[in-house]
Chains A and B, each alone.
Chain A
């Protein structure tokens, strides 16, 4: 059961992702992969999946046309509108695309990233072991670039994982502050700065992409707290670095491999997906937790 779909409309930074290519940081390449991994998984659970590839779309959504064959497709992530040939369907959800079908994902009330998963093997070459598009290294996906109108994706038949039994629901869209572990340079910051960092809200700005999310420091928490002359260290997704002018930036999946700005904290793995979905203009608060606590949260996710 092979199929072909055509991208008829793609919002900015719509990319092919999969579980990414971890293990290459020593070569200067970050792992990439879905900005919201749990939503990527949830989209896959809606439908059987023959591989780990997804189409990650952003707030503007995406329109696809099935050109040939048929392929089951599942969707999830944030809250978007979805129509199959004009008929609204539920979010998250699934359908089988057959030749001539038009699937339209439109902006919705919540989230920055959504995912389409397919029960077919996406016919795109692996680059360094992954189909994930790295917008920084310009590798993976279609020639290392974002998807655009006119792009064609072919799916080969493959025996995949079955769909989840019953309705698969997201269990990660919790509320409350984004939890973090004090960073590798936390003790370089004045204690008063560290205290206000966890007391004051920040605002997510529109300066966001797969590499990082710039925050507005409206309470001037980091005004005058600039720390210079650090030697670069490797970076992990979720690192919160403070630029010389006091601007906080959270580094995301396509992060630079190394960085020399001071890092006050690192968002815990269990909260990074939720952080990625916070929209520009919304406020975000940070709460410190221990590494132990972060691991307990990860273990509770696995059941």
Chain B
């Protein structure tokens, strides 16, 4: 049974993305949240804010982490306090969106995943029709999270929405292409997953010998290419 506070929530869905929340996350970070649910506008607002933070840095800020609909700002409390920092963040919230040219990345995928036929059947499509629809979607990298180099990419048309699997697979290999909840994800390490495995790629978005260790960044446009 879902229980909510009797007090009003700090956020109000109807005001997003105009009024982001700034919340303390422990004593060394603030979280700036642009929405309560995952949608295109909130994700784009979070990425734009993270980009502004990178180009207009604040003394005492040690890390800026864009996520699906929020941005974590880690700070050194010996250099800047949370009240002043929140004020600085507020200034960067109101300045206009920096025009950004998205990078385009190509990912070659073998659509040979063990769950591909099941997903196509769930959607009432042939395997070929599903792959074509999947690759037409024009996905963006929404964020990196969950595991090193693991990217969430969205959004597919709502007609392609399937729920996650009931059972979690204890491990799928690096380079697995996953599908669920209107998104495609690509694994860069071996991970457990409750998503459908629809394919595999030789592309690895994690290399400890590179700096930065990942090649895809949030906001990148992805083009999936079918290989056999």
Q: Which residues of A contact B (CB under 8 A)?
A: 22-29, 127-128, 136-139, 181, 183-184, 187-191, 193, 224-229, 231-234, 236, 238-239, 256-258, 266-269, 291, 294-295, 298-299, 302
- Selected contact of B25 from candidates A228, A236, A256, CB within 8 Å: A236
When chains A and B are docked, how far (Å) is the Cα of A232 from the Cα of B65? 13
Query: Quick one: closest B residue to A295, CB to CB?
Result: B77
Q: Could you list some 28 contacts between A and B, CB below 8 A?
A: A22-B63, A24-B213, A25-B65, A27-B212, A27-B213, A28-B150, A28-B206, A128-B213, A181-B24, A184-B33, A190-B5, A190-B6, A193-B3, A227-B4, A231-B38, A231-B68, A232-B68, A233-B33, A233-B68, A234-B70, A234-B72, A236-B25, A268-B26, A269-B28, A294-B27, A294-B77, A298-B78, A302-B78
Contact residues, B63-97 vs A (CB, 8 A)? 63-70, 72, 74, 77-78, 81-82
Residues of B within 8 A of A298 (CB): 27, 77-78
Given A184-B31, A232-B145, A269-B27, 8 extra CB contacts under 8 A: A29-B148, A128-B211, A139-B148, A188-B9, A234-B70, A234-B72, A239-B25, A257-B144
Min CB gap A273→B, angstroms: 14
- Specify which chain B residues have a CB less than 8 angstroms from the CB of A226 in the assembled complex: 1-2
Q: Which residues of A contact B37 (CB under 8 A)?
A: 229, 231
Q: Are A28 and B144 in contact (CB under 8 A)?
A: yes
Per-residue CB contact flags for chain B residues 178-196 toward chain A (1 = under 8 Å, else 0) read 0000000000110000000
For residues 195 through 228 of chain B, which have their beta carbon under 8 Å from a beta carbon of chain A?
Answer: 206, 208, 211-214, 218
Inter-chain contact B72/A181, CB cutoff 8 Å: no
Question: Which parts of B104-162 form the interface with A (CB within 8 Å)?
Answer: 143-150
Selected contact of B24 from candidates A137, A138, A239, A291, CB within 8 Å: A291
User: Given A28-B146, A232-B145, A234-B145, are A181 and B27 also a contact pair (CB < 8 Å)?
Assistant: yes
Query: Nearest A residue to B216 by beta-carbon distance?
Result: A27
For residue B150, which residues in chain A have a CB less than 8 angstroms away from its CB? 28
Let me know if B7 is at the binding interface, CB within 8 A.
yes
The listed residue with most A CB atoms (<10 A of its CB), out of B3, B29, B150, B188, is B3
Indicate if the CB atoms of A187 and B1 lie closer than 8 Å. Answer: no
- Chain B residues lying within 8 Å of A266, measured Cβ to Cβ, are 25-27
- Chain A contacts of B214 at CB under 8 A? 27-28
Q: Which residues of chain A come closer than 8 Å to B33, judged between CB atoms?
A: 184, 233
> Does A224 contact B3, Cβ atoms closer than 8 Å?
yes
Partner among B5, B25, B28, B69 whose Cβ is within 8 Å of the Cβ of A191: B5
A127 touches B6 (CB 8 A): no
Chain A residue numbers with a CB within 8 Å of B14 are none
Judged by a CB distance under 8 angstroms, whether B23 is at the interface is yes
**Set of chain B residues within 8 Å of A23, measured between Cβ atoms:** 62-63
- Residues on B with beta carbons closer than 8 Å to the beta carbon of A229: 37
List of A residues within 8 angstroms of B29 by Cβ: 236
Query: Contact: A269 with B9, CB < 8 Å?
Result: no
A96–B10 CA distance with the chains assembled, in angstroms: 57
Contact between chains at A291 and B25 (CB < 8 Å)? no
CB nearest to A190 among chain B residues: B3
Q: What CA separation (Å) do A207 and B24 show in the bound complex? A: 28
Of A23, A127, A184, A302, most buried by chain B (CB within 10 Å of CB) is: A184
Q: List the 7 closest pairs (A to B, CB-CB), nearest first.
A: A258-B145, A266-B26, A294-B27, A234-B72, A28-B148, A25-B65, A27-B214
Known: A27-B149, A29-B213, A291-B27. A190 touches B144 (CB 8 A): no
B35 CB within 8 Å of chain A: yes
Query: CA of A188 to CA of B7 in the docked complex: distance in angstroms?
Result: 9
Q: How far is the CB of B94 from chain A (nearest CB, A)?
A: 22
Q: Is the CB of A236 within 8 A of B26?
A: yes
Q: Which residues of B contact A181 (CB under 8 A)?
A: 24, 26-27
Cβ 8 A contact of A187, one of B2, B5, B62, B65: B5
State whether A233 touches B31 (Cβ < 8 A).
Answer: yes
Min C-beta distance of B151 to chain A, whole Å: 9
The docked-state distance in angstroms from the alpha carbon of A88 to that of B116 is 63
Flag whether B57 is at the interface (Cβ < 8 A): no
Which residue, A24, A29, A128, A231, has most C-beta atoms of chain B within 10 A?
A231
Inter-chain contact A191/B7, CB cutoff 8 Å: yes
- Contact of A232 (CB < 8 Å), options: B4, B67, B208: B67
